[in-house]
Each structure stands twice: as C-alpha cells, then as structure tokens.
Homo-oligomer: A and B are copies of this chain.
Amino acid sequence: MRLFEATETGSIEIQIGEDLQAKQEELAERNRRFFQERRIRVFDIAGSVGAGKTSLIGEMVERLSPKYKVAVIAGDVATTHDAQRVTGKGATKVLQINTGGMCHLDAGLVARALEQLPESGIDIILIENVGNLICPAYFALGAEARIAVVSASEGAHVIEKHPAMFQSANIVVLNKIDIAEAVNVDLNRPLEDLKALCPDMKVLKTNCLAGEGIDDVLKALEIV
C-alpha cells in the first residue's frame, strides 16, 4: 500500500504502510483460498473510466452464462449503473460495491461482497474494479488474474504512463480499436510499449460495443 504525506517540499511516501501492506496481502490470500476451495475462477477487471470494463464484462457474461454460473461484483465510487448494465446479461448474481469516494477496490471489500453470494454453485466471478489506472495497481484482490482494459482513446502513451497497472496485469485488453483513427492514436505505440514493459503479456484487441474480440479474451483466460 502506498500512502503519501504532503511536506513543505513535496509529497513523501509514508510508512504506516508495513502493517497495512501485510494485512492487504493476508486478506487477498484469504480470498484466494476461498476461491480455490470452492473451485471458483475469479478475474479482476481494471482500467480507467470509459475503457470499456462494463461492456467487456457484459459480453463475457453473455457468452459464459449458458455454460457457467457467473457472478459479477462491480466496484464504483458512487452509483450502481455498472451493476444495472450487467444485470439481464445472464449473471446469476450481480453485486455493487460503492466505495464512497475510495479510488480502488481492496481484498477486504471483496471479502465483504462474497458474504452476499449464494452458498454454492458459482463457477466464475468477474470483479469490475473502480475506474482508475493508478491506485488499483497496488491492491491485489485475490483473483486468479487481472485483466487491464485500456481504450484506444486513452492516447499513445497510456502504457508508459501507468507501468504499475500493466505490470500488475495478466492480460491486457486493448478496446475501442475502431476509434483509434478518429482520435488520432497510433496503436503500434502502446503495443510496443507493452512489449518492452511486459514481454510475455497477452494482448487482445476488442471492440466490446460490437462484441468483437471477446472470444479471444475468453480463450486467453482459458475459460472456454
């Protein structure tokens, strides 16, 4: 965990962190065990506002729900729109966590949401993290993998600007590839930056609004 204190000459990282960091890791590990014991596959979908996290989750749920019981946990600063958008796509349960201003989900919040899930029968949980490319990078939730979603409209330098998020991810979804030209972004740049930062990263290109590329994401996660 990274907390910062302002000083007269700038901000310094303050180390009340040690205990909290250990506590965070313990809570994430507890979630991880909870999922493993119940054979639930859990994915943490992170990315900025408007990257397409909710659209991606909706498309994934639609494809997975005929075969699996899927739950969605949607984190948001203040509203329940994301949960509402996913409801009706076939999910067994959709939960909303309102963080009340907090800029990321953490393992404790996820654990609390888990208490509201049905006792048995859930196969897959998709967790939508708070729309933010910075803070969630530092908080593991106990998921099997993190999917970092990034939209073409976030600019050519989005990878380089947010290394921690992409280093914390297991796969990267490059979404809204259809509007790259309209927003004057050359997608080769983020792709090259990703290769330099995380040489083994799987990168999938999608247009979630049109449902394009979703099957490749499911294949990359090995859930088809």
Contact = CB atoms under 8 A, between A and B. Distances in A.
Contacts of A158: 49-50
Interface in A4-59: 4-11, 16, 20, 23-24, 27, 48-50
A155 interface: yes
A133 interface: yes
Interface string A57-92: 000000000000000000011110100000000000
A78 B2 CA distance: 15
B6 A106 contact: yes
Interface in A115-161: 130-135, 138, 151, 153-155, 157-158, 160-161
Interface stretch (A175-183, A198-206, A215-223): A175-183
- Interface size class on chain A is 35 or more
B6 A78 contact: no
Given A6-B107, A130-B134, A157-B81, A182 B184 contact: no
Contact of A134 (B9, B81, B101, B153): B101
Contacts of A78: 160-163
A102 B9 contact: no
A182 to B, nearest CB: 5
Interface of A: 1-11, 16, 20, 23-24, 27, 48-50, 76-79, 81, 99, 101-103, 106-109, 111-112, 130-135, 138, 151, 153-155, 157-158, 160-164, 176, 178-179, 182-184, 209
Given A6-B108, A9-B112, A50-B154, 19 more contacts: A3-B3, A6-B27, A6-B106, A8-B27, A8-B108, A10-B111, A11-B99, A48-B49, A48-B50, A48-B131, A49-B133, A77-B161, A78-B163, A101-B164, A103-B132, A130-B134, A135-B135, A178-B182, A184-B209
